[in-house]
Structure 1
Amino acid sequence: MPAPALVLASTSPYRRQLLERLGLPFTSAAPDIDERRRPGESPQVLVLRLAEAKARAIAPTHPNALVIGSDQVACIEDDVLGKPGDRAIAVGQLERASGRTVVFQTGLCLLDTSSGHAQTLVEPYRVHFRRLDRRQIEAYLDREQPFDCAGSFKSEGLGIALFERLEGDDPNTLIGLPLIRLISLLESKGIHPLSA
């Protein structure tokens, strides 16, 4: 039986760039799922459910594949900060994050479509924000325009200037795909970037 194909269940350019770092051949497919949070659903349960749902949504068209699903939310306590979509919401999110800790919860799923077995996990990452004034927030948004990013910043760019410190096991998690944990999941299926 041929080795399973690797498929990323995402159209996110950020996740695609992260997965490319591993040097493994893969394709991408767009999952079509409802990403709304259910009443009473915790951020951790939400991202775990959506990561698996994304993988399972594309599974029927990818037999004998390992499908990677991922989803991320930014949270202040249990309040989820979504992708702002526009400047006014981004200003509000960054004003709220100023001087506080924002926890990014990232759900990861590796689905083996030949067996239907899914390995899932949630990887947290904490971002401790500096105290920011309105001028700093406006200057940041003028330069980077992170309106498609949860929490209204890009840590891989100028967003680093917003932080006092970062806390977590894998900095890639903050961008949207916990590569260290993904490598462990892939290794359990006989795939490792250093053995490919």
Structure 2
Amino acid sequence: MQRTVILGSTSRYRRGLMERLQMPFEVHAPEVDESPLPGEAPAALAARLALAKARAVARRFPEAVVIGSDQVADLDGEALGKPGDHARAVAQLQRMRGRTLVFQTALAVVCEASCFVQQDLAPVRVVFRELSDAAIEQYLRAEQPYDCAGSAKSEGLGIALLDAIDSDDPTALVGLPLIRTCRMLRAAGIALL
């Protein structure tokens, strides 16, 4: 019998990515404090939160295989979170224009019953174009990406803000690196295809 797969996330973007795998899965909120620790680097923050989310849900469903993920936008070692509102999104995009960021996308898969734990990081290097204030305003009014780390959605109009994306896992920038997810699910005993 195959174990239940649970996505430990409230993100509609991660849920949409999981749906691409055409497999049954449940979604449960991890209820984890996402505050960074003092001096915590963006990659370490993303990795810690991905594992914390997977473990929090796995404690409630110990027989399940639980996926946790987190993404932190890294601007020269500074973590940029989700803007939450228009003014913060404008400020983020103004800081990011003409610059290169690394979106640190972390993944963890946990099954308490089998003592399975795997974790990985899928960094995505993103080069933003030189953006005018008018272009920033037009983009934000059109897409309102206030729930996205870095204030942009590459899977939508946000692609027009960019000069380049460098990644070995194309879904990592959206928030869940599916190539790594599939690899870890197979390692945990979940049959895919």
TM-score range, shorter chain: over 0.9
Alignment of 1:160 onto 2:162:
no
Correspondence 1:51 to 2:42: no
Q: Which amino acid aligns with 2:123?
A: P
CA distance in 1, matches of 2:125, 2:98: 13
Determine if the alignment matches structure 1 residue 144 to structure 2 residue 148: no
Counterpart Cα distance in 1 of 2:152 and 2:12:
15
Q: Alpha-carbon deviation of 1:24?
A: 1.1
- The answer for the alignment partner of 1:36 in structure 2 is 35
TM-score (norm 2): 0.97
The runs of 4+ residues in structure 1 deviating greater than 3 Å are none
Within 1, Cα distance between the matches of 2:165 and 2:118?
A: 27
Query: Counterpart of 2:171 in 1: which secondary structure?
Result: helix
Match of 1:94, as an amino acid?
L
User: What is the alpha-carbon distance in structure 2 between the residues aligned to residue 154 and residue 173 of structure 1?
Assistant: 12
Q: Percentage identity across aligned positions?
A: 54
Task: Extract unaligned runs of 5+ from structure 1.
Answer: none
Q: Is the 8 A contact 1:83 1:149 kept in 2?
A: yes
Name the aligned partner's letter for residue 6 of structure 1: V
Which residue identity does 2:149 align to in structure 1?
A
Separation in structure 2 between the aligned mates of residue 134 and residue 91 of structure 1, nearest angstrom = 8
Correspondence 1:1-196 to 2 at 5 A: 2-194=1-193
- Looking at structure 1, the residues matched to 109 and 79 of structure 2 have their Cα atoms a distance apart, in angstroms, of 24
Please tell me whether the aligned partners of residues 111 and 119 of structure 1 are also in contact (alpha carbons under 8 angstroms): yes
How far has the Cα of 1:95 moved from its partner? 0.6
TM-score relative to the length of structure 1: 0.95
Paired positions, count: 193
CA root-mean-square deviation: 1.0
* Deviation at residue 185 of structure 1 after TM alignment: 0.8
